[in-house]
Structure 1
């Protein structure tokens, strides 16, 4: 094991460590509130109508952009690089995109917020199926067949495009790439990109946006369909937890 650098932080007593942690917590709380405010501003961004009819290939045949929503209100499409010419082909996808794929949380929680996540590459479907099996990934992953990647800024580098649909009308609501992409993968990082957000009552969202009581929609990932209504015991536990958090901040 390599030695610690001589410039490492000082070694202190438990009391001094707790004091330093408490001082830093003030800045961390400010960072959290700034992040929430930024997400609130993101929910107020204008929408761009998507009028072009984009086509893809899925494991069961041709798909259109609206099909990728899978009946849900929102859609996040990540452009992953897995195709001829990409380092690692044909055994692997891009190392960065693959690291990101390893971080993707269980999609049932996104689905519970009416949001779908789809990966998209130019590799043929048999290669995508082989890669998913090798790496243990199970997110929907489709093949780009037209100018979708070029039109949405992901023909040369990765990125997440976020869409919302109103019936058959589709709107682009957000786009994130570069350094912003590296922290993606949690339910919260995805939902904070969307036009509707986490959809909890504490959020600063435009009037009329869907919102439900904080924490109450949370569930085991295999239980959303079996129990769509919040469990009374979980309501009791989450209420107690929320009260404790609020008291700790006073």
Structure 2
């Protein structure tokens, strides 16, 4: 259905249909609350490996990235060594971050982006985009591979990689994701959760707003096809969908 052929009804009819949809929206809200509770009851995995990251403050371990807090959210940002710029979709995710971090801190949550690119390349792209959030380089460590967002040539040789908890085709050797960690009072770190594919939309608050509008995402020509780096949008964006993001959403 397109806006040009959309039904137009009386206010009373609209209210009746809106209330029916509201009942479904409340079902979704309750289901989200239920799933959030189930997520919190997942078992944890102790992180035994000592990961060291390159940061503007010098080398830091995974435990250091908590910055004194007990919870840590990591955005696995697709920026590989030698890349000219970060993934469009991951950048779209990151555009929502700076406004969140002050609020996350009030819930005892630290936040950091981690990429495999060397720190100098990360810092160059970060300056271009005007971001302030923490961003570390995992270059030289196995962190990205261990958490399922980077793939070796051997991984990709068979045509499929293990991503989002299943073997599937993926067009790049870097992939998007979000991982969550907990640090206890003894300093032990635990992996509590990771989400990939369309799960990363949890960071894409703009999509929630877009989904409220009559045209919605309008992505028939390719998932995230309209998204650009925020400094690369045309003044009057075309309505025609483009080819799609480098990390276009997968189910």
TM range, smaller chain: 0.5 to 0.7
Q: How does 1:222-237 map to 2 (within 5 A)?
A: none
> CA–CA distance in 2 between the matches of 1:185 and 1:72?
24
Alignment of 1:3-42 (within 5 A): 4=2, 8-42=5-39
Runs of 4+ in 1 over 6 A off after TM superposition: none
Are the equivalent residues in 1 in contact too, given 2:116–2:144 (CA < 8 A)? no
User: CA, structure 1 residues 53+84, in 2 after alignment: closer, same or farther (shift >3 Å)?
Assistant: closer
The count of corresponding residues between Structure 1 and Structure 2 is: 179
Q: Distance in 2 between matches of 1:9 and 1:180?
A: 31
Residue 58 (structure 1) aligns with: 55
- Aligned partners of 1:103, 1:183: CA distance in 2, in Å? 10
* Structure 1: distance between partners of 2:3 and 2:15: 23
Whole-angstrom CA distance in 2 between matches of 1:139 and 1:127: 16
Report the counterpart of residue 142 of structure 2 in structure 1. Answer: 147
The equivalent position to 1:116 in structure 2, one of 86, 110, 121, is 110
Equivalent residues in 2 for 1:192-203 (5 A)?
none
**Structure-1-length-normalised TM-score:** 0.68
**What SS does the aligned partner of 1:182 have?**
helix
> What is the CA–CA distance in structure 1 between the aligned matches of 2:20 and 2:3, rounded to whole Å?
25
Gaps of 5+ in 2: 151-173, 209-251
CA distance in 1, matches of 2:177, 2:50: 20
- Listed as ranges, the matches of 1:201-216 within 5 Å are none
Q: Distance in 2 between matches of 1:139 and 1:179?
A: 23
Cα deviation code 1:114-161 (max 9, x no counterpart): 001100112222222221121121110000030011111111311111
Instruction: Identify the residue that residue 182 of structure 1 maps to in structure 2.
Output: 201
Distance 2:184 2:202 in 1: 29
2:112 counterpart of 1:93: no
Equivalent pair of 2:104/2:110 in contact (CA under 8 Å):
yes
- 2:203 partner SS: coil
Please, what is the CA RMSD of the aligned residues? 1.8
* CA positional deviation for 1:15: 2.0
Does the Cα contact within 8 Å between 2:44 and 2:190 map onto a contact in 1?
A: yes
Distance in 1, matches of 2:3 and 2:19, equals 26
- Tell me what 2:179 maps to: 161
Larger radius of gyration: 1
- Structure 1 gaps of 5+ residues are 190-250
